[in-house]
Chain A
């Protein structure tokens, strides 16, 4: 009896997990199917003509501005990541190990910047950029992305570097190394998984951005998330290309799944120690 009751619950649990898995996978499988469907068969169910598939959407995408937009995304997200890491990681180290009475203010500030609505930053930036000619430039977008990436980088390198033992740093300093040497040769390697995860996350945030790029790019530096919208027009919506472009936009972020381990979790939601 007891065993039967147990099995029932076990099966209910399995059914629930299966349901969630279908919910999770359906949009992904659907996007893959859409990207191979010809425009002529878009509006009939896939099971009524499962073999009508085409590579045409790849050609459409290749001939459009989308590859160029992907390049813009790569440059701006990459640039924003590198700049934020160069500025933010040493700061995270200083906050983790230095003595400061303003750590509370610093942590409040960083959290606030991560939580603040982007529309608030974009309005003044847009007006400023109009006046100094930074609209639709790589540099302008990279500078705007500092708002997104820098607080995250400082916060999460603070978290991961706080876990490096003080004894390690003290030993290095007593051996006569400078603080920067200690940071570079001891602390950075010790905190490497966290630092790599931080860089990956910073890239992801800039790569995924839609709002900043929508406002401060035009045609020259339009990024991929905004360029996808070109396939949506009032007359026709090119669903095949949209699906394929969505997949192309997602693929570079797949390494994150491989890194989707405790470090990512720590970087996103971790408490600051030390």
Chain B
């Protein structure tokens, strides 16, 4: 460090605007959110001046809230599972199976830049039976594709599929980077010792990819907890309430039922999850960089 330490005051000065901005734009709203969660503000009826834990007590009794956690976990678990599997397969495919098809990388990246609203609308059209070319194609063979969006599990899987399409490129890019960082010495040594390609993949490559896979799965898990445009546009929480994830339920309570404080309490619940996960990520990160 040496000479740079002398400039600590300069560094602090460069940090200051960001500290102020984070304070104003992020911390203040957060304090507001937590404050609202402990009172009883209603968008139309206003504020009755009650303080306490009543919103949180109500959450434990609210069947719709508890069901929304199930929906959220379903979307996250299946979404992450599909995205990570497909993203990894495509990355490994591009790198190991068909290296000559490198140009395809350009194709697989495309969904990554399609805005979520466009993803939702395009997949909504693909899941609309009267419109979809998929339905029309299977009709030729006399096969009727079921209407996904009007059945409970169909709707939730439709969201998972659309999200997988939009997000597997992120996984692919990170896994490609990780694959390129793995030295080929170990793999070569294993195949000289007589291991088949499959054995090399399962015993050598995959274990070496494990840290990258865990990290990318975690990143995707966090993003899938925040689903909004896909639900809003493709299912609107339906059929019934079967695709109302917690984040969406907080929106409904706040902006459709006007129960601002209850919505804020649900947001605090989601925020607590993010706080725990980000703490462990930051700690793992600090350990990597200290070593």
Contact = CB atoms under 8 A, between A and B. Distances in A.
B21 A17 contact: no
Contacts of A108: 278-279, 282
Interface-central residue, B1, B117, B260, B275, by most chain A CB under 10 Å:
B117
Interface stretch (B73-81, B130-138, B146-154): B130-138
B207 interface: no
Interface in A185-233: 204, 207-208, 210-211, 214-215, 225-226, 228-229
A17 B216 contact: no
A246 B110 CA distance: 14
A210 to B, nearest CB: 4
Given A99-B5, A166-B4, A250-B118, A179 B11 contact: yes
B17 A90 contact: yes
A179 B90 CA distance: 45
Contacts of A114: 278
Contacts of B233: 229
Given A27-B165, A150-B26, A208-B115, A98 B8 contact: yes
A10 B14 contact: no
A104 interface: yes
A119 B97 contact: no
Nearest to B117: A225
A91 B15 CA distance: 4
A95 interface: yes
A109 interface: yes
Given A98-B12, A170-B3, A13 B26 contact: no
A226 B197 CA distance: 49
Contact of B2 (A170, A247, A274): A170
Contacts of B113: 204, 250, 253-254, 256-257, 260
A25 interface: yes
How many B residues are at the interface, by size bracket?
35 or more
A120 B270 contact: yes
B53 interface: no
Interface string B137-160: 101000000000000000000000
A52 interface: no
Interface string A92-121: 011101111001100111011111111111
A239 to B, nearest CB: 6
B122 A30 contact: yes
Contacts, number: 304
A28 interface: yes
Interface stretch (B56-64, B100-108, B186-194): B100-108
Contacts of B101: 17
B289 A94 contact: no
A44 to B, nearest CB: 8
Given A94-B11, A257-B109, A265-B173, A13 B3 contact: no
B228 A109 contact: no
A88 B247 CA distance: 28
A90 B5 CA distance: 17
A169 interface: yes
A125 interface: yes
Nearest to A12: B97
Interface in B225-240: 225-226, 228-229, 232-233
* Majority secondary structure, B binding face: helix
B122 A243 contact: yes
A45 interface: yes
B4 A115 contact: no
Contacts of A169: 4
Nearest to A246: B118
Given A120-B264, A210-B229, A242 B125 contact: yes
A117 B271 contact: yes
A204 B170 CA distance: 14
Given A146-B25, A229-B117, 19 more contacts: A9-B197, A10-B97, A27-B165, A30-B133, A34-B125, A90-B18, A99-B1, A99-B4, A113-B26, A119-B263, A120-B268, A124-B30, A147-B25, A151-B22, A178-B10, A228-B121, A253-B114, A257-B112, A260-B112
Interface of B: 1-8, 10-12, 14-15, 17-19, 21-22, 25-26, 28-30, 32-33, 35-36, 41, 86, 89-90, 93-94, 97-98, 101, 104, 106-119, 121-123, 125-126, 130-131, 133-134, 136-137, 139, 165, 170, 173-174, 176-177, 197-198, 215-216, 219, 222, 225-226, 228-229, 232-233, 247, 250-251, 254-255, 260, 263-264, 266-268, 270-271, 274-275, 277-279, 281-283, 285-286, 288-289
Interface of A: 9-10, 13-14, 16-17, 20-21, 23-28, 30-31, 33-34, 42-46, 86-88, 90-91, 93-95, 97-100, 103-104, 107-109, 111-121, 123-125, 127-128, 143-144, 146-147, 150-151, 154, 166, 169-170, 173-174, 178-180, 183, 204, 207-208, 210-211, 214-215, 225-226, 228-229, 239, 242-243, 246-247, 249-250, 253-254, 256-257, 260, 262, 264-266, 268-269, 271-274
